[in-house]
Amino acid sequence: MSTEDTLYSDADMIAARDAFLDGDYVEMLKRAKALVDRYPESAQAYFWLGGAHGRLKSTDDAIAAYKRAIELKPDFDGAWYGLGVQYHSSKRWEDAISAQKQAITLNPDHAKAWRSLGLAYGMSERYDDAIAAQRQSVALEPHAAEAWEELGLTYTMCCRNDDAIAAYTQAIKLKPDLIARWYNQSRKFRESGHFDKAAVVLQEAFVLKPDDARGWIELGLVCDGTGRKEEAVGAYKQAIKLKPDSDWAWAFLGNMYLELDRYDDAIAAYQQAIKLKPDFVDAWASLGCAYACSGRHDDGIAALRQAIKLKPDYAETWHLLGDIYQQAGNTTEAADAFRRARELKPELSK
């Protein structure tokens, strides 16, 4: 029996596979290390070690393990693919391209290697090469929703929106819950300040699923980030129309009303958010602010006290409470609130 045959029947190998399927990557790593100790000349043992390290985000260790697997077995396409994935995680695009090309040379039907190659090309802004690679992945796995999704992402990166929508549509047909990834992608663009790219992703998402409240909430955040407050109000209202019990939609709507000095509307929106989620700390704090802005200091203090009751270690809420006590002329209580805020977060001044 060969070393590899022996390895595959090894109890640690069986346990490593089970751990992988269960998502227990710490246990997978433990078992893979045992395999490497027992079979130091086994490429498969190092392959599993690399996989475990990769799943645990230990990129350098994963790269070292995959390299050792390749030293032991240079024609191991799976190890080249794994190495390319880790290079991608390290943003070493050219190394990722080289590794995936080698995996494909050894196994031209390796669809995931084509897909990963396309992603690396895309990150290198080699969009024609990226599209060609992603199309090959789709040709090899036409029923893989992720392949169509990556093709759509590549089209998005080079502003071929109609082609992107067509690819995304196919992905959604194969796997309807993929729509959530567009919202996550929009969020990433928005949080990095790329509001134009976030808007493009949402445009594509609305073509595919115009009646999803999550998309309208995300659009509201994008509009808010670009100073289009009234458009944000409209987006949040549409989200609420589609999902009246969305506490976050009501809270975000309240935020917009507050910024537009529409204090009564803000108070009503926050109250609805709290009705839907009584322990919604942010909504209680914002309600307190809205009350204070409308001159209802006692109500504002009561709302902030409730927020603090729910989350007593939130320094910003204590600081806001101090502001409202100060506005109400209660300097003693204001000083106590400011002191508590500084205890929790020393960089807060007052």
What average pLDDT does the chain have? 91
Per-residue pLDDT, 172: 77
Question: What are 150's two structure tokens?
Answer: 């990556």
Question: What are 89's two structure tokens?
Answer: 């995680």
Look at the block and give the residue holding tokens 């602010």. 289
Assessment of whether the complete model's pTM goes beyond 0.85: no
- Spatial contact of 186 and 218, defined as CB atoms under 8 Å apart: yes
φ/ψ bin of 40: left (φ > 0), alpha (ψ from -120 to 50), beta (otherwise): alpha
Distance of alpha carbon 329 from alpha carbon 319, whole angstroms: 15
Per-residue pLDDT, averaged over 28-54, amounts to 93
- Spatial contact of 321 and 312, defined as CB atoms under 8 Å apart: no
| pLDDT tier at 3, thresholds 50, 70, 90 | low
Per-residue pLDDT, averaged over 149-161, amounts to 82
- Spatial contact of 103 and 77, defined as CB atoms under 8 Å apart: yes
Cα distance between the two ends of the chain:
76
Report in angstroms the alpha-carbon separations of 350 from 320, 341, 346.
Answer: 11, 9, 10
DSSP secondary structure letter of residue 10: S
Per-residue pLDDT, 5: 66
pLDDT tens for residues 48-104? Answer: 999 999 999 999 999 999 999 999 999 999 999 999 999 999 989 999 999 999 999
Per-residue pLDDT, averaged over 191-213, amounts to 84
Angle, helices 247-259 vs 263-276, to 10°: value is: 160
Is pLDDT of 324 > 90? yes
Is pLDDT of 329 > 70? yes
Distance of alpha carbon 115 from alpha carbon 152, whole angstroms: 12
Distance of alpha carbon 171 from alpha carbon 19, whole angstroms: 29
Distance of alpha carbon 282 from alpha carbon 272, whole angstroms: 13
| pLDDT tier at 130, thresholds 50, 70, 90 | very high
Is pLDDT of 162 > 90? no
